[in-house]
Chains A and B, each alone.
Chain A
Amino acid sequence: MANINFSRAYLTMKQLLTGNEAAAEAAIQAGCRYYYGYPITPQNELINYMSVRMPQVGGVFIQAESEIAAINMVYGSAAAGGRTMTSSSSPGISLKQEGISYLAGSELPCVIVNIQRGGPGLGDISASQADYFQAVKGGGHGDYHLIVLAPCSVQEMANLVYDAFGLSDKYRTPVLILGDAQIGQLMEPVEFPEKPNKKSPSKTWALTGAEGRKRNIVKSFYPVKGQLEEFNNHLQEKYKNIEEHEVRYEAVNIQNADVILVAYGTSARICKEVVKKSQQLDFKVGMIRPITLWPFPKKFIRKISENAQCILTVEMSAGQMVEDVRLSVEGKCPVYFYGRTGGGVPASSEVIKKIVEIVPENLAANRLLQLAEVK
């Protein structure tokens, strides 16, 4: 984080930052003033950046004693009405799951960044997408969802972190940014255009001291029979509403495509290269990139699958998002999977080889294979 000038004029200019630094600066630009974190590779640039910047903007930075403490400090600041954030990487996010479940159960807004690394266990520190299940299927205990946003560039990291604060306040729910080591540590040009809505909406439910009003209680405990079910039904209504209104995706070259790739984050960058290479051929590859992993763009993928020859999901995991793709497709077309795991990153040539494998009869296959061999 050498020699960064933090003046507003400088920040609106294009500059070179890592994804981690862009996430931190975007949070500050979005009005986040309470950051609690714990060091873990590959998200350390984020916590380092916050330690410098938060005091500059009159905010709070605490290096907590653990990931567990950090997420619970977030819980406290969110309950008190503050815009708050934490970040970590896979093993650390596992530790935060209890707190995340409580945040969802207490309907508290906050932003959590997961810069994924290889697992399970201590794993390694290189990029992975193996926390997809944990991110979109709950992760902690109970029936809940997080809004999960998956950036595929440094600029998009900044934009999505900014949006995450708005979404978390709008729906009173934690929002997870699901990046990976490549997106977090990659340097790309980014700018932070001044945007409105920096302030949170009025939080009449927050804990501020009950002066002149009825007391507020922030809790997720419903011991009286029937109350918890009623609350869960309310949560599910909220999730339906989010699924209705907040689905985001990018579609590339999908009209009349022979194969449609589905990928997010770093895998999507690789698949974009495949799409680009295929343009030189009469064999057409398109791509759908989910930006919201939850809510998943299932309606759109289902619609596309009605006319597609086949879909190939590419992930840096043993196959996690592919389950949601299959559920979306509902058997309308074949769904194939190509993945690398344990920190392995697929090369575009590997993806092309897989395409060739799944469409062996196609005339363009040989030409694709040749292309795959081109370094």
Chain B
Amino acid sequence: MQAIYEKPKTFIDSATHFCPGCGHGIVLRLIAEILDSWGMRGKTIGLAPVGCAVLAYNYLDIDMCEAPHGRPPAVATGIKRVHPDKLVFAYQGDGDLAAIGMAEIIHAANRGENITFIFVNNAIYGMTNGQMAPTTLLGQKTATTLSGRNATNDGYPIRVCELLAVIEGSSFIERVSISSPEQVRKTKKALEKGFRTQIEKKGFSLVEILSSCPIYWRMDSNEAMRYIDEEMSRIFPLGVVKDWEAKK
């Protein structure tokens, strides 16, 4: 019998701690698949975030580092400057990257750091029990916006890709989602392009992945996927935002 699809070797054989319907497992698996097929397991250094994905190093069989809340771009800069020929990626959530770590990501982009950032945006703080994120949609109910996010008091959802695209040092920026098998395949392609941008030393790359948090969205998994397609994708449009290979 011929195996046509199996668990990637870089993905450690264990049950994950993620909730049912959470997108993190899908994204981490895609990273493992790419590292496997490119033979990059031993040439890669990853950064785990704070929040739900802090235990990413329990699932990816590669050298990995933790970073303080919001600081992965600075920590990754320090790693990449020591190992310019290793593939370095940072895995960040919406609170990590767009709230406390906004300065670090903007300046890493501005320096054109040759690093790939994987930005998992589920528009909520999962680990701390569902508080508002910078990317929470207007009207979205969270533990700190019980009657829905209100622009007057809470500001607007921040569009990270569009913000970083105007920075001269950024090279490749794309927004994708994990809402369907088709979108997952696009996400894998975007991650591959992000990594290739780095391997070819073209500079800063960021892939934003619209992801799900059924528990704190108070939805079942199917509803959560619909929410990504119908609500999130409207505020955060999918597609390539900046591409160094695109024809001018």
Contact = CB atoms under 8 A, between A and B. Distances in A.
Contacts of B44: 209
B165 interface: no
B75 interface: yes
A79 B43 CA distance: 15
A65 B105 CA distance: 11
B43 A215 contact: no
A305 interface: no
Contact of B67 (A36, A62, A72, A217): A72
B174 interface: no
A210 B41 contact: yes
Contacts of B75: 72-73, 75-76, 79
A82 interface: yes
Contacts of A209: 42-45, 62-63, 83, 86
A211 interface: yes
28 contacts: A34-B78, A34-B82, A62-B81, A65-B103, A69-B71, A70-B74, A72-B74, A75-B68, A75-B74, A75-B75, A76-B75, A76-B76, A77-B78, A77-B82, A78-B78, A80-B45, A82-B82, A84-B78, A208-B63, A208-B83, A209-B43, A210-B62, A211-B42, A215-B63, A216-B64, A217-B65, A219-B66, A221-B66
B168 to A, nearest CB: 15
A64 to B, nearest CB: 7
Contacts of A81: 82
Nearest to A99: B68
B68 A77 contact: no
Contacts of B73: 69
B238 interface: no
B28 interface: no
A333 interface: no
A66 interface: yes
Contact of B78 (A74, A212, A216): A74
Interface string A63-101: 011101110111111111110100000000000001100
B107 interface: yes
Looking at A66, A76, A82, which has the most chain B CB atoms within 10 Å of its CB? A76
A215 B74 contact: no
A220 interface: yes
B241 interface: no
B79 interface: yes
B78 A73 contact: yes
Chain B CB within 10 Å, residue with most, of A70, A74, A98, A217 = A217
A75 B63 contact: no
A235 interface: no
Contacts of B77: 62, 69, 73, 76
A215 B78 contact: no
Which residue of A34, A98, A208 has the most chain B CB atoms within 10 A of its CB atom?
A: A208
Given A72-B74, A217-B64, 9 more contacts: A68-B71, A76-B75, A77-B79, A80-B78, A102-B68, A207-B83, A208-B83, A216-B64, A217-B65
B125 interface: no
A74 B74 CA distance: 9
B81 A219 contact: no
Interface size class of B (residues with CB under 8 A): 35 or more
Contacts of A36: 78
Interface residues of A, number: 40
Interface in B28-63: 41-45, 48, 54-55, 57, 61-63
Contacts of B45: 80, 207-209
A207 B46 CA distance: 9
B104 interface: yes
A106 interface: yes
A80 B104 contact: no
A64 B110 CA distance: 11
A60 interface: yes
A231 to B, nearest CB: 13
A215 B107 CA distance: 29
A34 B81 contact: yes
Nearest to B48: A219
Contacts of A60: 81-82
B103 A215 contact: no
Interface centre among A70, A75, A209, A221 (most CB of B within 10 A): A209
A218 interface: yes
A211 to B, nearest CB: 3
Interface string B131-150: 00000000000000000000
A79 B74 contact: no
Interface string A93-120: 0000011001000100000000000000
Interface string A24-36: 0000000000101
B41 to A, nearest CB: 7
B15 to A, nearest CB: 15
Contacts of B65: 76, 79, 207, 217-219
Nearest to A102: B68
B74 A76 contact: yes
Contacts of A210: 41-42, 61-63
Nearest to A64: B74
Nearest to B104: A69
B54 A221 contact: yes
Nearest to A218: B65
B103 A69 contact: yes
Contacts of B64: 207, 215-219
